[in-house]
Structure 1
Amino acid sequence: MSETDTRDGEQENEPTPEEGMTACRYSTYEIVSKVAYLIGVPEHIFLKEHEAPRQEVYERLDGIKAARIIRHLCVVRTAIERNFKAINDKMRMEYRSIFSLPEYIPAESLRQLSEDGADFIRKSSTKLCHHIIEINRLISGRISNCRPLFPLWVNWQYIQELFIMPNGLKEEGTKEAAALYYANRGAYPYQMYINWTPRDEGNILYNDRKFMTLLYQWHNDRFLEYSKVSDVSSHTKGSIYDFIEGSGKTVVVVDCENSDPYKLCATLRNLDYRYTQKISRIILFDDVHAASAWDILERFTRIPVEHMLVERIKQDKSLVDIKLTARACREHYTNQVDSFVIVSSDSDYWGLISSLPEARFLLMLERDKCGMDLKKTLVNEGIFYCYIDDFYSGNAEEIKVSALFREMHRYIDSTVRLNVNEMFREALRATRVEMGEAERKQFMDKHIKGMQMSINDRGDVVIEFKK
C-alpha cells in the first residue's frame, strides 16, 4: 500500500496550497519557529505542545549572539509600543528611566542586550520615541546577521522586511507604526510587533506552509516550494521503519539515472537514524550522464555507500538496469540480503521484483517519473511504495551547496591557472623593464599582492591591480 492511499482517494494530486494549510500533520515548523524567536515570542509559547514554535529551535537560536540581539531588541520595542502611554507618563512625571520599569519592559532583555554589546540607550534620547528610533536603527543594521539562519530557498528580503519599521528612524514613522499596532494588536502574531499590513489571517505562524504562502502573497508573489515546508505522514515513515525492522539484512539499490540525489538525501536524512543505521549499505548504479552529486551522498547520510560506475558500450544505451538487477540477485543469493529498497521510477524493475519471490521490496519513486501501471501493480501485489518528492527537502541544501562548490572548484582547476610570479616575470620580459631584486619585491608587495577580483554584469572575472 502506498502513502497516497491514505488521502481519501487523492492518490495522484499534490495538495493545493489551501489544502496544505489545513493539513498541519504534514507541515514543518522550522521557519515559523525561527521567526517566532526573532520577533520575541515569549519562551513559554515554545514549551507548549499545541503551539507551532518548537523548543529545540528556541534553544538553538538562543545560543547565537546575532539572533539573541534581534530577539531582545524586538521584545523591548514591542513592550514600549504596548505600554507607550504608561511608560511615557512615568518618564515625564516621575523622571523614571526604562531600566526602572520592569513591570513594562523585561529587565532580562535589557540585561542581555547590555551583555551582548547592543545597548540602545543614548544620552541624546530625551523622548520615549527616541528609544524606539535607536532600536530601529540597531535592528536595521543587524538583522542581516541573521540571514544565515534561513535557507537559500527562502526570499530573505521578505523575511527582513518583517523587522524593519517603515520610516522608523523618524518620529512620525514610529507614531504611524504605533497607531497601526494599537488598532490591530490582536492580529499580530502573539501580539508581537512586525512590519506588515495586519489582517484577519488567523495565526500566521501556525506552520511553515501557511506562513510561507502568506509571506509571498503579501509581496504579490507565489510560494511553490511546498516540499521544503512539509513532510510525509507518520504512516509513511512508520511503514518504512516496519520494513527495516522486519528485515534480516537491508540494502538500498539506486538507479542514479532515474533518481534525484538531493531528494534521496533529504529522504534518508529525514528518517530516524535508529532505523537507517540498520541499512547495510547503499549501492549506487551510476551512469556517466547522471548527476555528479552521487559521489558525496555518503557524507550526508551516515550510511555506507558503494558506488558502481556503469560504462556504456553503446553511447545511446545505458546498462544500469541490467547491472542493478544482476547485483541485486547476487546480494540475495550470495550475501543473504532479504530486503531491498529500490530507488527508481523505472517499471523495468518489476522484472527483478517478480524474479525474487522470497525477497522483500520497498520502492521509493518520484511522482513525475512513475506511471500508473507500475503503481497499480505494486498495490495489487501488496508492495509498499512512497514518493521521495513528498519528504521534507529543506534539509538537502547542504549537499546541494557542497555539490556546487565541488564542481566549481573542478571547473576552476581545469580552466584557470594564474601564477603571479610567472605573470610578473613575463611582464618584465615583454616590457624590457629592468628591476633589481629589492625593487621587484617592493613592486610585488605594493601592486600585485594587493590585487582584487571583481565580477562584471556578464559574469566575467575582472582582476584589478592596486596602484
Structure 2
Amino acid sequence: MNNQACDDAATRNPRKAYTDYESSTYTVVSKVAYLVGVQKRIFENEYEPPKMEWYEKLHADKNARIVRNLCMIRTALELNYKAINNRMRFDMCNLHSLPEYVPQDSLNELMQDGITIVRSRALPAQYIVDINKHISNRINNCKSLFPLWLKWEYVRKLFLMPDGLNEKGIKAAAADYYANKNKYPYQVYINWSYMDSGNILYNDKKFVSLLYEANADYFTDLSKVSDAGNLTKAGIYKFLDKSERVVVVVDCENSDPYKLYATLNNLNQEALLNKICKIILYDDIHTTSAWKILERFTQIPIEHVLIERIKENKSLVDIRLTTGTCREYYQNNVDSFILVSSDSDYWGLISAMPEVRFFVMVESEKCSPTIKNALINAGISYCYIDDFCTGNSNDIKVAAVLREVRQKLDQAFHLNVRDILDEACRATRADMTTAEKNQFYDKYIKTMHVDISPNGEATIVLGK
C-alpha cells in the first residue's frame, strides 16, 4: 500500500478493504482520486479502492483531465518545493526542464487542452498561484460528474488551497503538506485538515461521512454509498445461470422504479442480457410516471402494460400479472421468472406453478415475515432491492422529474405571444403598422424571461 495513513489492518492485508467494507461502493472515491491526481498505478492495483473503469471514463473528459493534471503538478511542486525552488532560482530552470520533479505528461496534456502554465523566470510559489487560479476557475466544470445527493460545495473545497492566491498562503500550505505528507491520501495535496482520519479515500462510506463531518454536517442516507453484498449478487447470478429464458415481471403498484433501476444497474450487465429476454411492467394508471421512462435506462427490452381500472377503487394489476406470467410460461417457453413485488398475494401464483423457477425481489419494509418464511420453506430465493446502491439512480430520477416538470410547464405556459400582442393592440386601440408591431415584438416580447422568486413563484418579465 502506498498510503501510510491506511488502517493498520488494511495495511497488513490489502484484501481486507473488500471484506470489512464489502457493502460500500467506490464510485465517489474513484472520481475524487482521479481529480486530485492519485497516480494511475493505484487505479491499476485491484486491491486499492479507486477503480480503473472510472480512471478511463474521466480521462476521456476534458474538464476532468485538466483538473487532474493541474492537481498533479501542484502536488509535485508542494512535494519537491525546496529542490525546485533552488533549481529555478540558481539554474534558471522551468517546469519543462525538471522531469525528475514535475510530471511532464501532465504538462503536455494541459498544453494539448489549451492550458499553459509555463513562464520564464518564475519560482514555485508563482506557479502554484497560477495553478490555484486555474483550479478555482475550472473545478465547477466537474460538478456534473457527481450526483445531486452529494453536496458539491463540500467536494469543491477539497481542491481549493486556503489563501492560495498569495505567497503567504502558499508557503503555509507547503509547510503543512511537507510535514504531514504521509497523512494525505496517497500523498496528494488536498485541502483537508483532519489528518488523523486515515485514508479518506478508503471507500465511499468513509469518505462521504468524513466529508460531511468536516463541514459540521451529517450524512444520513447510507443507501447512496452501500451496495448489496457478494452473496446476494451471487444468488441472482446462480439463478440466471441455471435458467434458459428469464422474464422479469414487475408489480408497479408494489415496487419502486428507482430501487429496481439501482438493482439492475448494480448487476453484471452481460449476465442480465444473456438470460433476461424482457421486463414486463404491469402498471396501474395511479402509479408513478417514472415507470414510463425506465426503458431509456436499460438495454433489456421492456413491455409496458398500462392497466385501466373498471372500478375506480379496484386495481387489476395482480390478476393481469398472474395471467401474463402463465402466458409467458405456456406460450413463449419461459422457464424462469424474477418477480418484483412485495405483495403476498403472489404466493398463490408461485405455489400453483411448482414446475416454474421463481426468484423474488422485495422491499424489506413492505414484505411480511410470513411470505419470507413461505419462500424459504419452498426453497425459493429472494433478495431485497433496497440493499442495492441507490447512489447511481440519480440519472433516472432527474429524467423523471424533468419529464413531469416539462409537462406541467406545457400546461401552464401554452400560449401564442403574437396572438396576445394583437389582442393588446385591439384592447388599447393602438394603431400600429406591421413594421411597428415587429419592432415592438423584437424589443419587448422576444426578450422576455421567467423570473423565479426564492419561494418558487414564477413571473414572466417583459424586455425593456
TM-score strictly above 0.5: yes
Who is 2:249 aligned against? 253
Q: Report the 3-state secondary structure (helix = DSSP H, G, I; strand = E; otherwise coil) of the residue aligned with 1:312.
A: coil
Bigger shift: residues 300-309 or 349-358: 300-309
Q: Once structures 1 and 2 are overlaid, which stretch shifts more, 153-162 or 207-216?
A: 207-216
Which consecutive residues of structure 2, in runs of 5 or more, have no partner in the other structure? 1-15
Partner residue in 1 for 2:445:
448
Question: Cα offset for 1:21?
Answer: 9.4
Q: Would you say the 8 A contact 2:94–2:122 is kept in 1? A: no
Is the contact made by 2:88 and 2:122 (CA closer than 8 Å) also made in structure 1?
no
**Would the alpha carbon gap of residues 344 and 74 (structure 1) be closer, same or farther in structure 2, given more than 3 Å must change?**
same
1:94 correspondence with 2:91: yes
Aligned-partner residue type, residue 239 of structure 1: G
1:6-85 matches, cutoff 5 A: 23-85=20-82
Aligned-partner Cα distance in 2 for 1:58–1:321: 45
Report the Cα distance in structure 2 between the residues aligned to 1:319 and 1:161, rounded to whole angstroms: 52
Contact 1:249–1:336 (8 Å) recurs in 2: yes
> Which secondary structure does the structure 2 equivalent of 1:119 belong to?
coil
After superposition, residues 324-363 of structure 1 pair within 5 angstroms as 324-363=321-360
Letter of the aligned partner of 1:175 in structure 2? K
Q: Distance in 2 between matches of 1:390 and 1:20?
A: 19
Structure 1: where are the runs of 5+ without partners? 1-18
* Contact 1:21–1:209, Cα closer than 8 Å, also in 2: no
Residues 249, 280 of structure 2: 8 Å contact kept: yes
2:432 is paired with a residue whose SS is coil
Q: Post-superposition shift, 1:334?
A: 3.8
- Give the structure 1 partner of residue 182 of structure 2: 186
| Counterpart check, 1:274 vs 2:270 | yes
Counterpart code for 2:105: E
Is the CA contact (8 Å cut-off) linking 1:31 and 1:208 kept in structure 2? yes
Secondary structure of 2:22 counterpart: helix
The answer for the alignment partner of 2:230 in structure 1 is 234
The one-letter amino acid paired with 1:199 is: M
For 1:342, the aligned partner's letter is L
The answer on whether the counterparts of 1:187 and 1:199 sit within 8 Å (CA) in structure 2 is: yes
Call closer, same or farther: CA 1:97–1:276 in 2, change over 3 Å: closer
**Distance in 2 of aligned mates of 1:330 and 1:84:** 73
- Distance verdict in 2 for CA 1:97–1:301, change over 3 Å: closer
Query: Partner of 1:410 in structure 2?
Result: 407
How much does 1:160 deviate?
Answer: 0.4
| Equivalence map 1:424-443=2 (5 Å) | 424-443=421-440
Q: Could you tell me which residue of structure 1 aligns to residue 293 of structure 2?
A: 296
| SS of residue in 2 equivalent to 1:165 | coil
Amino acid in the other structure paired with 2:157: E
Q: Are 1:284 and 2:259 counterparts?
A: no
- Alignment partner, residue 3 of structure 1: none
Counterpart check, 1:174 vs 2:170: yes
The Cα offsets for residues 143-165 of structure 1, whole Å up to 9 and x where unpaired, read as 00011111112111111000001
Query: Does the residue aligned with 1:466 lie in a helix, a strand or coil?
Result: coil
TM-superposed CA distance for 1:361, in Å, is: 0.9
Corresponding residue for 1:305? 302
* 1:367 alignment partner, SS class: coil
Structure 1 residue 20 displacement after superposition: 10
Q: Distance in 1 between matches of 2:123 and 2:271?
A: 60
Partners of 1:241 and 1:275 within 8 A in 2: yes
- AA at the equivalent of 2:36: I
Q: Secondary structure, in 3 states, of the residue corresponding to 1:135?
A: helix
Establish whether residue 262 from structure 1 lines up as the match of residue 250 from structure 2. no
TM-score normalized by the length of structure 2 = 0.91
| Structure 2 Cα separation of the partners of residues 333 and 88 of structure 1 | 79
User: Structure 2 CA distance, aligned partners of 1:350 and 1:316?
Assistant: 23
Shift of 1:126: 4.6
Q: 1:22, 1:214 → 2: CA distance? A: 20
CA distance in 2, matches of 1:214, 1:66: 26
Q: For the residues of structure 2 that align with 1:398 and 1:126, how far apart are their CA atoms?
A: 45
Would the aligned equivalents of 1:20 and 1:209 in 2 still touch at CA under 8 Å?
A: no
Say how many residue pairs are matched: 448
Quickly say closer, same or farther: Cα 1:307–1:94, change in 2 above 3 A.
Answer: closer
Q: Structure 1 counterpart of 2:323, which letter?
A: A
Aligned pair in 2 of structure 1 residues 302, 170: CA closer, same or farther (>3 Å)? Answer: same
Aligned residue identity for 2:239: F
CA RMSD of aligned residues (A): 2.1
Cα separation, 2, equivalents of 1:446 and 1:206: 57
The answer to whether the Cα contact below 8 Å between 2:94 and 2:118 also exists between their aligned partners in 1 is no
- Does the residue aligned with 1:151 lie in a helix, a strand or coil? coil
Report the Cα distance in structure 1 between the residues aligned to 2:320 and 2:276, rounded to whole angstroms.
21
